[in-house]
Amino acid sequence: MKGEQWQRVEQLYHAALEREGNQRAGFLAQACGEDEVLLRNVERLLKAHAEAGEFLAAPALEVAIRSTVAEGGLPLTGQTISHFEILSLLGAGGMGEVYLARDRRLDRTVALKMLPPLVAQDPDRIQRFVLEAKAASALNHPNVATIYDIGHADGRSFIAMEYVEGETLSAKMGPPFDVARIVAIGMQAADALSEAHAKGITHRDIKPGNIMLTPRGQVKVLDFGLAKVKRGEESALNADTITLTDTVPGLVLGTLKYMSPEQLLGHTVDHRTDIFSLGAVLYEMATGRPPFAGTSATDTIGRILHVDPESIGQINPEVAELQRIVHRCLEKDPERRYPTARELMADLQNLQDGALPLYGNSKRRALALIAATVLVLGIAGTLLLAPTPPATGPAIESVAVLPFVSVEANPEVEYLADGITENIINNLSQLSQLRVMSRSSVFRFKGRHTETDRIGRELNVQALLTGRVSLHEQQIAISLELIDVSDSHQLWGEQYNRNLADLQSLQTEISRQVSDKLRVRLSGPEQRQLASRRIANDEAYQFYLKARFFQNQLTEEGFRKALEYFQAAVDKDPNYALAYTGLANVYSSLGIEYVAPRDYMPKAKAAALKAVELNQQLPEAHAALGIVYLVYDWDWNAAAKELQQNLLLSPQSVETFSCSLHFTDVLDRNKDAITSLQRALVSDPFSLPTNLELGCASYFGQQYDESLRRLREARTLYPGHPGISYLIGRAYGQKKMYREAIATLSEAKPLSGDWPPIAAELGYAYGASGRKVEAQRMLDELHVQSTHRYVDPYLVAMIHWSMGDKEKMFVELENAYARRSSWLPWLKAEPKWAALHSEPRFIDLMRRVGL
C-alpha cells in the first residue's frame, strides 16, 4: 500500500471510531466513494478492533491491514522468496502475515512469516522480528513451533518455521469445553511457557489465536513477536538481542482482552503476565466467553483493572472444579498468582489425576504428617453428632467457617467467638468427605470487611458459615448464617440464646444442624471418634477457651497466659484430656523457643502422656507426645508412632505451629515432605503453616529458589510476619545473597522482639560475607540476651562457624548437646553444616544425636 493511501486509511479509521452503527457506515460510504480497496481496508481495521480488542495506534494500523493485503494490495501466492515457494496465506499476527510455503532445498512444507517492505525500514520492527526468531529458536519444546531459518530476500525479512496442521484455539472457541479438554490444553500451554520462562523469555501475547491445536490434540504456542527477554539470559539468546527487548515506556503491547493489569498499564512485566493471559484463555474455554470482555475498549480496561470475573461455576457448573486454578491465574496482583507456570501445570495435573489423597500408605502417612506437623494445636471438641438423615439435594463438599464476630468490644466475648469458631472447624474436619479450610486460612479474614462471595471465591469453597456472638451477663446469643457461595443465597440461618453454662451442649447442637444443612453424614468410625470428646466441667471449659485464645497469639506472653488457664482447667477437671494436651503444647512451645529445653520439655511429656492415658482416641494428644519424642527425646521411632496415630485419628485437621522442625529432613526424606506438602496446599492453599513447611522443606533440600518463591508467596498472604522474613533471610544466606539476607533480617529483627534465631541468622550472614565486626556485634547481643532469656548455644555456634572459628563453634555445639537443644535433630539436614560432614568431631556429634 502506498504512503498517501496509508495516511488516508489511518485518517478514516480514527474518524470512523468516533461514530456508531449506521452513522459509521454512512460516513464511510460517503468518504470512500468508489474506492472499494480503501473502504475494505478501513472496514478490516474496524473489525480487527472490535473482535480482537487490540490497540490499533498508528504503528499497528498497517499490521491489521496486511492480514490479507500485501504491497499494492497484491497477494504473494505463487511468488518465490529466497528458496521458499509461497503456496497460500495462512493468517496474520501482530508482527506479520504467515504463508504456507515449500522449502525447495529440503523439499518440505514450512510456515513462512513475512515482514512487509512497508515496515522493513523501521529498525525497531526489524529488531523485534529478529528477536522473535531468536526467542523461539532458543526453545526446544514439543509445544513450541520449531524455527528453521531466518533471512532477508527481495526486500523482505522472513522466518521459516515448522508448519503445524490444525486450527488455532480461537477458531475452536464457542460453546464451553469439557474439563478434560481444558486441562489437557492448559497443561501443554503451561509446559511451553515454563520452558520459555526458564530461558528468561516472556511471551506477552498469550491468546487463543496464538495457540494452535493439531488434529491429534497437541498444542503449539506460536508468535513470539512481542516476546520480552530477561537481561542476562545470554545462554538463551545473543547478548546483542537482549538490548532490543526494552519496550518504550508507556507503550502497550499485546491483545486487550487477555492483557494483565500491569501490562495494560504499561508497567514492567515478567513471566507472571503470561500466567494471567493463560488464565484468561482457560476461563474462555470453560465459559465460552472472555473473563473481562466489555461493551467497549474502555469498559474492558476497567474490568481488567478493577473487576473480578464472574465465577466459572456460576456460568458453567460442569467445570466448577477449575475455579480455584483460574481464579489464582487472574489475580490482579502478580504476587498472588502462580509464581511459575510449572506450578500451574502441576495443579492442572492434579486435577487431571482426580482427587488425590493427602498421603499414601500408613508408613508414608506417618512421615508425611511429621513433615507437616510440629505442634498440632489442640482444638476443643464437643461434638457428638446424632445419625440424623441429611437434607435432600447434593452434598456440599467444601466449607469455610469464618471467624465469628464479637458484637461487643469485649475481650470476654472475643475469646468465646474464637473458641466457638475453632470448635466448629475441628468438628467439621472429622467428616472425611468434607473439605474444611484450616484455622490459619480463615483467620486471615478476622476483622476484615470483605464480601462473603469474594472470600468464597478466594478460598474456593462452596459454602461459608458466619456467626455473631454477644454476651449479656451469663446469657450468650449466637446468630449463624450458612451461605451458598455460588449465588450468595442463605442455605440456613438460626439464632441461639442460652445460658453460658450450656455452651458445650449448644455447640453440639449447632454442629449437628450445620452438618445436616451441608448434607453430609458421619461414618461409624467418625461418630465414634467424635464421641470420644467428653463434655468437660463448664468452668474448666471456660478456662480452656481462654487458654486457646492466648495460645493462638504465638508470643511468649501469650504462651505463659495460656499455661495459667490450661492449668486452671485441669485443676477444675482432672480428667480433661484436651486441657492436658494444651498444657503439653504450651510447655513444648516455651521449651523450644523461650526457655532451656530441660526446664519445660519433661513437663510437656508428662502432660502429653496424661492426655493419651485419659483418651486414647484424642488425635491432638498423640501429636503433642510425638513432638516431645522428636525434639527432646530424639526418639524417631516413638515420634513416628505417635504422629502416625494422630493422622489416622484425624486425617483432615493437620494444623502446624512452626516450620523449623522437619522430621523427614532428619530421616533424609525431603522429597517425601515436599510431595505431601504440595498436595496439602491443593486443598488449602492459604494455610500459613503448610506454606512455611514447604518453604522449609525446599530449603533443607537445597532448592533455595523454590524456597524463596514459596516464602514470598506466604509473605503476600501474611504481610509483616517476622517468621517468614527470617526464613527468607536464611534462604538468601545459603544463596550467598548476603546483602539481601542482611536487609531482610535487619528489617524483621525489631518486629520479632529481637528473637534470637533472627539475630543468629543475621550474625551468620555478616560473618559469611566477611563483615566480622558486625557478626561479633550479634554475638555480643546474644550474650546480653542470655542474661535474661534463653539463647540456644546452637545459634551461637552458627555465628562462630560463619566467622571461621571452628573451635568455638564446637564448644557451643557441645553446649547445645548438653542442654538437649531442639535444633540438633536438624544438624545433618541444615546446609550450613554441609562442609563439616567429614569432620570426625561433627560425625561423632551426629551419632550421639541419633543421626
Catalytic residues: 205
Specify whether the CB–CB gap between 429 and 653 falls below 8 A. Answer: yes
Name residue 545's beta-bridge partners.
none
Torsional sign, CA 66, 72, 77, 83? negative
Specify whether the CB–CB gap between 143 and 220 falls below 8 A. Answer: yes
Alpha-carbon span 431 to 427, nearest angstrom: 8
Q: Distance of CA 136 to CAs 197, 245, 770, Å?
A: 12, 14, 43
Alpha-carbon span 340 to 194, nearest angstrom: 7
Computed over its alpha carbons, how large is the radius of gyration of the chain?
32
DSSP, residue by residue, 766-831: HHHTT-HHHHHHHHHHHHHHTTTS---HHHHHHHHHHTT-HHHHHHHHHHHHHTT-TTGGGTTT-G
Q: Which residue has the cell 472490535?
A: 50
Q: Which residue has the cell 470428646?
A: 533
**560 CB-near residues (< 8 Å, 6+ apart):** 590
Name the strand (E) or helix (H) holding 843. Answer: helix 840-849
Select from 699, 702, 753 the least CA-distant residue to 723. 753
Q: Which residue has the cell 546483602?
A: 739
Alpha-carbon span 137 to 127, nearest angstrom: 15
Name residue 147's beta-bridge partners.
161
> In the structure grid, which three cell numbers stand for residue 112, read together?
513462512
Select from 60, 68, 52 the least CA-distant residue to 13. 60
Select from 77, 55, 251, 224 the least CA-distant residue to 143. 224
Q: Which residue has the cell 457506515?
A: 25
CB neighbourhood size of 432 (10 A): 13
Specify whether the CB–CB gap between 794 and 763 falls below 8 A. Answer: no
Select from 200, 192, 221, 201 the least CA-distant residue to 209. 221
Q: Which residue has the cell 572459628?
A: 805
H runs (alpha helix) in 68-223? 117-120, 123-137, 169-172, 179-198
Select from 533, 507, 500 the least CA-distant residue to 381. 533
> In the structure grid, which three cell numbers stand for residue 72, read together?
499494492
Alpha-carbon span 59 to 783, nearest angstrom: 67
Helices 556-572 and 577-593: crossing angle in degrees, nearest 10, is 150
Specify whether the CB–CB gap between 766 and 772 falls below 8 A. Answer: yes
Q: Distance of CA 283 to CAs 221, 398, 485, 598, Å?
A: 18, 22, 19, 57
Q: Distance of CA 318 to CAs 78, 182, 396, 817, Å?
A: 48, 12, 15, 58
Residues in the chain, total:
851
> In the structure grid, which three cell numbers stand for residue 139, read together?
526453545
What SS3 state is found at 68? coil
Select from 536, 489, 496 the least CA-distant residue to 512. 496
